[in-house]
């Protein structure tokens, strides 16, 4: 048997995605966002200054699995509450921080609507 005949298992998809984001920066983030995005009604997009309502899928697949079940996630820039919604949908707790009252109201509205 040739000692060079061994199989290297492929890395998990989450490692690929994180490496892609690290090495490609903003372009990688935009690429992954486009990958997870579906067609969104214009009315829904109009609610957000930075429209990322479908990023919940990305958050659920990359960020949330690194946090243990029923643990807390700190959201230092709460924005419209997308990360908080992802945390709640995956049965994690969150602590959010935001200084803009308009975004606080928007995040509360989105969170209470789930």
pLDDT tens for each residue of 39-87: 455 555 555 555 455 566 566 666 666 666 677 878 888 888 888 887 8
CATH code of the domain made up of 41-112: 3.40.50.150
pLDDT tens for each residue of 3-14: 555 555 555 555
Domain ranges, ordered by start, for the chain: 41-112
Res. 88: pLDDT tops 80: yes
Calculate mean pLDDT across residues 89-106. 86
| Nearest Cα residue to 48 out of 92, 89, 96, 106 | 106
pLDDT of residue 64: 61
- Inter-residue contact 71 to 93 (CB < 8 Å): yes
pLDDT of residue 47: 58
- Inter-residue contact 55 to 82 (CB < 8 Å): yes
Give this prediction's pTM.
Answer: 0.49
């Amino acid at each position: 048997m040739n000692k060079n005949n061994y199989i290297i298992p492929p890395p998990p998809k989450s490692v690929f995605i994180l490496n892609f984001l690290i090495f490609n920066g903003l372009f990688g983030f935009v690429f992954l966002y486009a990958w997870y995005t579906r067609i969104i009604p214009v009315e829904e997009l109009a609610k957000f200054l930075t429209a990322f309502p479908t990023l919940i899928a990305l958050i659920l697949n990359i960020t949330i699995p690194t946090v243990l079940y029923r643990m807390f996630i700190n959201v230092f820039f709460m924005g419209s509450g997308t990360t908080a919604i992802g945390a709640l949908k995956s049965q994690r707790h969150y602590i959010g921080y935001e200084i803009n009252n308009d975004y606080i109201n928007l995040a509360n509205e989105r969170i209470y609507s789930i």
